[in-house]
Structure 1
Amino acid sequence: MARCRACPTKLFQLPTMKKFLKRILLIITLALALCIGAVALIAVFFQERIAQALTRSINSQLNAELTIGNFEMGIFRSFPDLSANFEEVALQPDQGPELLRAREAAFRIDLMSLLGPSIRVEAITISDGSLNLLTDQRGRSNYDILKAEGEGSPQGGAGEGSSLLIALEQARFENIELRYTNRQRLQAVRAKIEEGVLSGAFSTRQFELASKAKLFCQIVEQDEVAYLPDTEIAYEAIIAVNLEEGTYEMKKVEVDIAGNTFRLDGAVEEWETGTYYDLYATSEDGSLAGVLALLPAPYARKMAGIESTGRFAFNSIIKGQSNASQSPEIRVEFSLDEGQLSHEQLARPLRDVSFQAKLTNGKYRDNSSSVFTLEGFKGYFNRELIEMEASVSNFDAPEIGFNLNGVLPLETAYSLLGNPKITGGDGEVEVKNISIKGKLADMMAPSRMSRVEASGTLEFDDAALTVGEETLLLDRGELAIAGNKLFINGLRLEGAGSDIAFEGSVFNALPVLLADSLNSKGAQLEFEAKLTARSLDIDRLLAFSALTPEEEAEPEPLRDSLAREQLQGRESLTNLLKGTFDARIEAFNYQKIEGEDFMGKLGIANGVMSVEGTANAFAGKLFLNGQTFFENEPRLEARIELQQISVEQLFEQTGNFGQDVLTHRNLSGQLEAKLAVYAFWDSTGHFLMDRLSAIAGIGITNGELKDLDMLEDFSSYVDIRDLRRIRFTDMQNYLEIRDQRLFLPAMFIRSNALNLTVSGEHSFEQDISYFLKVNAGQVLADRFRRHDPNLAPRPAKQRGWFNLYFSILGNLEDYNISSDKRRVQADFELGEVRKKDIRRALEREFGQVQLIEEPDAWRDVNDNGRPGSQDDDYLDFEIGGGR
């Protein structure tokens, strides 16, 4: 009975208990919801006070001041935590430069800690900013900002008396510019952290640090040596950290540099006497590019782009203590077997490559005992074997050993010359036992090159290079090295319309090749050689140094920049050269100018190229002495003497000096001249016409002027047949070019048509001012004589009643002829002064210059440069003429 009575009781109590539990659960849920809601309300309605409390709490624990521009709190995106976002954040240490500036710093806060005495920060994300870490010469760091335990006096929080507890488990960085500088250890890093994460129980003394990051390294500096320039780096690491013992054990560390992955094992320990390293780095699937990227920046940049395939092995060790007095042992070994080396500058890869390389810091574990060796290097260029050995010891004062032997097919190797204008190659250069041994400092200083051992030969076998549309062929010859001397034996260059042979010797080739950008050692390539040419096409050879058609088509600012860079390169090159060529050239041409049998010297020194010699040209003889100054704004000084030159050929081959009024079809005769020219260019290579100047003394014999349209305006006074062919006797005068004008002092011309004196100016814009004096007595007398078909010149004497004076003013397209005695005589007087100035200047350049004077009876200006005393008869009337 009892059991039966109990059963209903239990059946009755079971649903009551369930209902009770549900209520309890509901109450708890509501309570939690109320708490969360309360916290959310606090976050919404009291976020400004919370921001102030957080800021005060952070500042109370730091030897720095945190400032923010704006603050925002949220719960739903970070639930069950609270997010606090600071905007326009800056962290300024009490000493030193600003540590941090960021667009946003987002904190993840334990939600329930807002109700307790301490606000617990578990994670932080810093984005879009800069992080500046600095350690000064005394070892003080601007990032050492945490106050010692018990030093801080936190105050204020969500409510009075609350404090901030930083218990970070994760720190994230996004788009942060990193600048690290340690002036005590001469270290610096400049990088951009694209994304990075640090996680671990940072609030404990022993934890596992997990980290991964992707960054772009701009530069790393150690002891003022730069590394890893513009390099992509990524890593993933797990490190066991024991802050109590100061140990860091590499559990799993992989670093990717330039696409090559290195695995790092071992440990780092902080001792009282320094830092102890026991680290090993290996790479199983790497390439040579990854190792070359670790070299100092100047070498890494030069070797950038080298790629390898094949069995590549890399091992390194860093073991020992590092402090102010000692360094750890460093040993690096890498090798390639059955591999291939390629580069964008190689038309084809170097195949079947094998080598072993070793680097160690040696017995004393410093630069003085460091040694790098490259052994057993061999490979094949187009089935042609090339072998090499190299070594560098004592990095403080490097001693170098280098050996090279083999064949370089230019079809593959032409791009190694580093000139983008060279677009192809053919033939071979045979390298025979090139050997160099000595100290780098001796190799760079010409005065100490005698201490360097150097030998070997380069032989050319139909070696050809394609430059633009031209092909230059070294069909034979050799360069033989003997110490500091390089012998040029039977070297023949063909191509671009030229056939040139070289013989001679060169000094300081190695110091010039190794010279720094400032040439601080003053190295110059000194040479003494013979140049023999069957033909020399100056135009086509100069085209090699001109801008390419593609460069000429660039917009003007870029084109000028390219031209300026090219001129600067030419200036730098010529400053490295010093020597002379004894030159014999059978035939040469420049534009339309053709010459032959040049004999003389071509020299260059201190950026000045000089040419001195004689040649046959224009059916006569040419003597040349000139200098070209390769400066930022190049200039030319030339002294030219012409003997028995054909005026017709001179005008024709020079393009009639750029004008079409008086051309080679109008002139004939023999020319004697002495000419000094001064020409200038700007820094982009543009010829400065306004700065061109020249002085000349000229004489023409057996001259003839034919079919010059301008003279037909005088046909009313002179037989038109005489005007169409004017034959004149010896004529000589002085000329000057300056300010874009040709100045012609008064000059007497005795011809079959008439005797006259002429002076004037002619601008490069074809503006003219000519002044003439004509023997009118002879002209009138000739009207009664029959035409002389022999075109005999008129006597040079005053046998008339009067002289006529004319001015021709205007432009060649529109000019007027009028009579004007006073103006003509004034210009003659001015011309006499100019003539004497030109003559004195020419005598400074050439010595004595002979001048044919006009007859005394014709002078309007006496020896003092003033008008004569006798006043000629003068008729003042206009001549119908002009345009």
Structure 2
Amino acid sequence: MNENSVGKKIVKRIARFFLAVLLLVAILFLTSRFLEKKVVQLMVEQINQSVEVPVFIDNIEFSLLRKFPLATLQFHNVTIKSAKEFHQTSFSGYQADTLLYIKELYLAFNLTRLMHHEMELTKAYIDNGFINVLVDKSGKANYSVLKEMSLEKGDSSNSFNFQLKFIEIKQFDVRFHNQFKDVSASLTIPAYKLKGEFYKESYSVATSGTLKVEQIKQGEIWFRPDVPANLNLQFDILNEVLTIKQSSLKSSGIQLNSSGTVTFGENVKLDLQFAGDKVDVKKLSRWVANKSLSGMELSGYLSFKGVVSGIVNEKVSPKMAINFSVSNGTFKHQNFDEKFHHIAMKGSYSNGNQRNIISSSLNFEQLDLSLGKSSINSEFKVHNFKNPSFDFEAGIHFFGEDLAKVVPKDFGAIGSGTMVGNFHAQGTIQGFPIHLDQFRQWEYSGTLKIQDADFQTTDKTFGFSQMNGDLMLLNQNLSVQNLNGTMQQTSCRGSLQVNNYFGLFSNRQEVVGLNTHLQLGNVTYPDITFLFTESDTTKSDYELEVEARLFAESYTQDAFKAQRLRGKVTYAKSKVQVDSLNFQSLGGTAAAQIKYDFSKPNYSLLSIDGRVHSMDINHLLTTFNNFGQGFITDKNLQGQLSSDFETEMKFVNGTLVAESIEYLGYVRIDNGILQKFEPVKALAVFAEIPELERIEFSSMENNFLISDGIIQVPKMDIKSNAFDVTLYGQQYFTGNYEYHLQLFLSDFLVGKAKRLQKQQTEFGWVEEEESERTKLYLMVQNKEDQFSVTVDKQAIKSQLKAGTKNEKKEFKKALHDEFGWFKKDSTLTKPEKKEKKKQEFSIEWDEE
């Protein structure tokens, strides 16, 4: 055979092959056109026989070529509506009116059987869509859409034969929400395949593919992984019992294994076991999206075993129980620099007898952790995940340097020291995040022994060191007994109690109470300035109220120093009150009630109701800088002061406003010395009586009134070494004054000391009766540094009207002889002219 004949035969064979193919395609095309109408009609009839709700399909295409030798139906935009009795409006964020949506659905049928007008489904392909599995609060489901069908064997009317062996799913979303159980979940299936003889009563199924769980939520427990998971599942089905032979879920290095059975029937019954060994907690934490865990970093290894058993339907959940443990754990919160380590846990979870979130419980029978050298050994229980109630109990052994690493930086600086004790808390969690009002409603108790603790506030206005005590906590109140250490810069011991300490952390103004009984050492004013800072009350988020019984060895403020102080101090709304204050100072004793109000924005107000006895008045004036006035100072007055008084004064920026002083009180000065006092000094110069420069007296007492910068001096008698005098008047803080004096003329003319010397005889002192002595009335004034001594005209007029004519003449003659007054009076002997020192003062007399 030559080459040409061989080539022709090959060409003929190829031509025949292509012709056969074309003929087959033509036959298939004509057949598909012939069968399409019949197949679509059969399919629609089958769907309508199966469901009770509307089914919408945009378009159905029939093809013998796409999956040849299988015939295929391609459904475009298949929509099956939700059940009619289902409450769609209670679901937001879902297309609740839709049970199932498939963008592209391919069903493959046996072509031979199809020629005999029978539909034998063998394969299914789903591409892009979703299914909503929803149960409302009354327990009604949106998937209760299937009709009850009787498929008795040998029923020739049934033209649909289920011979499914393969299912492939791509880009499909599953959304589940059971409001009755408060459980929800959603997952995406990028690609998944199932192989098995699904049509048999007994068959095996092998699956492979990828799942991406978007979220699983039950109550406040919320799983939300951000990585996909590979699920490999192999199971057998026999007599409505699904037996899981092998199941593994792998995601980001995590592997979970499960096994067990699922029994189908009127109710579905589960009997499943699952386990994980040394699962990486850090990787697993990416699955959990609980709000309370936000900002936390976790690590360690988790091992667990669990069972799921019992009936499951729309209203009933299976029983679930899990035992777990964590080893080599660490924990860090984003607000803290330090990490908790050596975390060890052992516990269990159960959904309880009711098998829902209300009866669920989580029990940590061991929850231990360390921070630096510090440790906490605790137990923790949570019950009812819908409205969680908890019980927490811990043993604590903390070192100050470790505690400083986890407390907020704006709280203050914590130094050395140790705290050993126990703590218990229980309550109900009403939601996340947990707010301060929830913390208030919980119950607390505990004890803590504090040793050598150091602390200082951020602004350094308050602190303590080497503090020891027994701390006791009961709900919102905290107390410390056997307190001793150094507070600020002074030693202290005693006890204290803080009421409503949560108010320190509140964002609204609340009252925080402090009751204390303290014995203090040597206190200085800088130690207590934190009480007088406006930011402590008027500008902060809490109001501090203090009631304290204090004993102090001493108190020092600038030049003032007091010893053996005791009293009751109350403090509220920027006001300090000291009751029953007693102390020793300036050589004497004092008792007082003091009120200090610094609530005003521009000034503070001090008021004192007090009593002093035998205080050194010179030292008093020196210590208090003469109380801001220059009328009578430490250079003028000495003696022992006793007084009962009430006074009030203003301070601006810590400086006394002298004009604001209001004073009313009884004053007594014993063993006194008045020297270089301007009103008396002026009289001494005029009368040429040097004794007036320094007046010594055994006692002086009077009531004084100070108001509007004026000192009112009521009438009083002073017996001194210079003369005996009765005086009254007023003194201005500006330096001006006006005093009215009544003294004996003889003392004025020759001085008391000289007169007494003249009257000394061999029989001793000869003293005149006061009724026989002539009195002199003078007025001493200073106006704008212009001093003058004048006769007190009004006083003399009153006296002369009451006296006799002879007394008047004798009185005028004495003044005429001494001072040359009454020159025009011819009844008086004209004195001889003498050269006199020119006086800076003038005395005038009204002859009338």
Q: TM-score, normalised by structure 1?
A: 0.48
* Structure with the greater alpha carbon radius of gyration: 2
